[in-house]
Structure 1
Amino acid sequence: MNHNTPLSPRPLHHLAEAHRRVLTAAQLREHGVSAAKSAERCRRGGPWQQILPGVFLLHPGPPTSEERLHAVLMYAARGPLPRPAPKVPAQPTAQDPHRPVYAEAMVTGLAALTLHGFTAAPALPSLERIDVLVERGRRLRSTGCARIVRTAGLPMADLVTGLPVAPVPRALADAVAGLSDAGTVRRLLTEAVRGGYCEPAAVVRELTRAKLLARPHVVDAVDLLLAEGRALAEDRLYRMVREYGLPDPVWNVDLRLPGGLHLGGLDAYWPEQAVAVELDTRASRQGEDAQGAEYARKREHLERLGITVVRLTPRKLRDALEQQAAVVRTALMAAADRDPAAYVVVLPR
């Protein structure tokens, strides 16, 4: 025997990790197991089974949820990943040398939402198929427990329990594409925002890209999603003023010129300093360009009158509340150095 002699199948028995009980044909060959030997072991009553084309389960019983996830990724992945992107920690590592690497494939849809921790998503064992996202043009077909979802460009994957998983907005869009139950769609979208997984605008962008906003039950769910997102943003704005010691503004007002011309609504306004805060909770939907243009016109008009407008997004309020409080405080302090603003009438909205 020399160093070129193929290994026997025996080394497979000491691989105790659950994901090592699922191997590809190429990995088996590295262990000295030929295609003929693999086929022999997968015969009726044999110790192995072929779970997907080119992917083998090294035990006779039903696969676990973890084994199904790894099998689907093994089926869809394109070879080894040479150097993972920064968001996905380098793998395998010295601490976990057997962790598999999956290139150009990630779990998406309902399975991804379950992995992200959504309570409204079904448990993994109840899913007949697991969605896996790959680049458009890959020569793959849906088969067995793997359902292929194609995209023009793969997003940056999140690493969840050691698996590449589509970010929540993309996973939501892929899940909603296969759902017809309005209640389920509504619960998933609401949890995405209420649970702090992502902002409504990111979800709407993905739903728009997937051309799902033509479906009435999706549109209804999106309207509720946007209302939920705005309520959360307003709560954060109230908390910002309270916790960071900002002077109390007047809340939710309309501004008008003395002659009656309507200038627009604001979420918070400090009349003495002529500083306004407006929450930008717009979501990018087809046909809403006019809304963005109207927003810009209103801001320009107010600023010509000497009113400073601070635009805050829900994401900024969620991720950097103290920083946004500092922005508002700076605008209030700078009021003393500005020319007095034009007189406006402040009315409750």
Structure 2
Amino acid sequence: MTHNTPLSPRPLSHLSEAPRHRVLTANSLRAHGIPVSEADARCRPGGPWQLLLPGVYLLHPGPPTSDERLHAALLYAGGECAPIPAQQGAASRTGGPATDVRPCTPPSPPPPQTPQPPQAMITGLAALTLHGFDGAPSLRALDRIDVLVPWTRRLRSTGGVRVVRGQSLPDAEEITGVPVAPVARALADTVALLPDAGVVRRLLVESVRAGHCEAGAVVGELIRARLLGRPHVRLAVDALVAESRALAEGMLYEMVFRHRLPCPCWNVDLRLPGGPYLGGVDAFWPEQSVAVELDTRTPRPHLEADARWSEYARKREALEVLGITVVHLTPAKLRDSLGQQAAIVRTALMTAVEREPAEYVIVTPR
């Protein structure tokens, strides 16, 4: 045998164990020596293979597993592609002697390659299922799997794949080896196709109740997708914001009692005697003149970030001018570092004696 002898097709039996290797594209099969015509012949009725999607083959006759459906959708969209093991020398494939040609110098190592972001990722209900949403159906129950691709991709929805285009793709999260859209983006892509108000509300509320993401991130994605014009989505967002607020207040109560802070006045309004209304705070210690305010703001359409912040900044400045220390907490801070936030509040209470006495203010329940 010479080095010009054609190589026989590489057997595919070694790929039958890994789920992602049981789903291959036409290009991958061609690299194994299997032309498209032969692959199509194996997909005839009663054959050992199936054409799962255009250009994507399932290398067994039974129904695809959920994992195989995910990988097939990504392969069809041009995203994740199962790597093909490097082909060995002619001797390992044919049993004959290896070629005599040897390089004069050792081959230089290939230059390091910068990892490229995926060109496709799972989104929609399938992504919510992968993120662990109780309100999302199982992957097996889904008729279609949504795949998010760049806006410029020329790709049609077909079979069990729905193509979702985006002008900018978020950073994918890897779940069980599959690139998945972040929760907020997956929710927006899901809501865009759901007419059921009850389902939309349950999914949005679960996103914050189960700690999957912040309400502000979800509302921001819904605004970018221009979905707040739908009445059932606006109602679901109201429920989402209320749930986020209730959860934040619950974590604030837990912080005070678990870390044995002095009991404050809860949810009160502050005003000067005979003077203007100063604003409401979530917790207030009158003797130390320390207030805690929860930031549960969510973005609103046509409202700039500076405008959203201005009310908070005005209130904080007015209180601090009067000698009242304002501790600003967010739901994320309380969830991720409850003890650290308690230490910040405790420090503010302990150092009250070192500050100038604050102005007297009237405290009334909200």
TM-score, scaled to structure 1: 0.90
Whole-Å separation in 2 of the counterparts to 1:106 and 1:336 = 56
Whole-Å separation in 2 of the counterparts to 1:7 and 1:156 = 41
> One-letter code of the match for 2:33?
G
Conserved in 1, the CA contact under 8 Å of 2:122 and 2:147? yes
Deviation at 1:154, TM superposition (A): 1.6
User: Unpaired runs of 5+ in structure 2?
Assistant: 84-112
Distance 1:157 1:256, change over 3 A: same
Deviation at 1:330, TM superposition (A): 2.0
Whole-Å separation in 1 of the counterparts to 2:271 and 2:3 = 86
Distance 1:334 1:73, change over 3 A: same
Aligned to 2:88: none
- Which of 332, 335, 358 is equivalent to 1:341? 358
Whole-Å separation in 2 of the counterparts to 1:151 and 1:135 = 5
Conserved in 2, the CA contact under 8 Å of 1:12 and 1:31? no
Whole-Å separation in 2 of the counterparts to 1:343 and 1:110 = 54
Whole-Å separation in 1 of the counterparts to 2:80 and 2:217 = 31
SS at match of 1:268: strand
Deviation at 1:10, TM superposition (A): 2.0
Whole-Å separation in 1 of the counterparts to 2:9 and 2:55 = 20
Whole-Å separation in 1 of the counterparts to 2:151 and 2:351 = 52
Distance 1:107 1:310, change over 3 A: same
- Which of 317, 322, 335 is equivalent to 1:300? 317
- Which of 145, 156, 181 is equivalent to 2:196? 181
> One-letter code of the match for 1:334?
T
Whole-Å separation in 2 of the counterparts to 1:291 and 1:259 = 29
User: Unpaired runs of 5+ in structure 1?
Assistant: 86-101
Aligned to 2:264: 249
- Which of 155, 163, 171 is equivalent to 1:140? 155
Whole-Å separation in 1 of the counterparts to 2:313 and 2:301 = 18
Aligned to 1:325: 342
SS at match of 1:74: helix
How many residues are treated as equivalent by the alignment? Answer: 333
Counterparts of 1:1-349 in structure 2, within 5 Å, are 5-12=6-13, 14-78=15-79, 83-84=114-115, 103-289=118-304, 290-349=307-366
Deviation at 1:40, TM superposition (A): 1.6
SS at match of 2:12: helix
SS at match of 1:252: strand
Whole-Å separation in 2 of the counterparts to 1:116 and 1:215 = 26
Conserved in 2, the CA contact under 8 Å of 1:9 and 1:32? yes
Whole-Å separation in 2 of the counterparts to 1:255 and 1:172 = 38
Conserved in 2, the CA contact under 8 Å of 1:24 and 1:56? yes
Deviation at 1:240, TM superposition (A): 0.7
Conserved in 1, the CA contact under 8 Å of 2:80 and 2:120? no
Conserved in 2, the CA contact under 8 Å of 1:190 and 1:225? yes
Distance 1:6 1:211, change over 3 A: farther
TM-score, scaled to structure 2: 0.86
Deviation at 1:78, TM superposition (A): 4.4
Deviation at 1:2, TM superposition (A): 6.1
Larger Rg: 2
SS at match of 2:281: strand
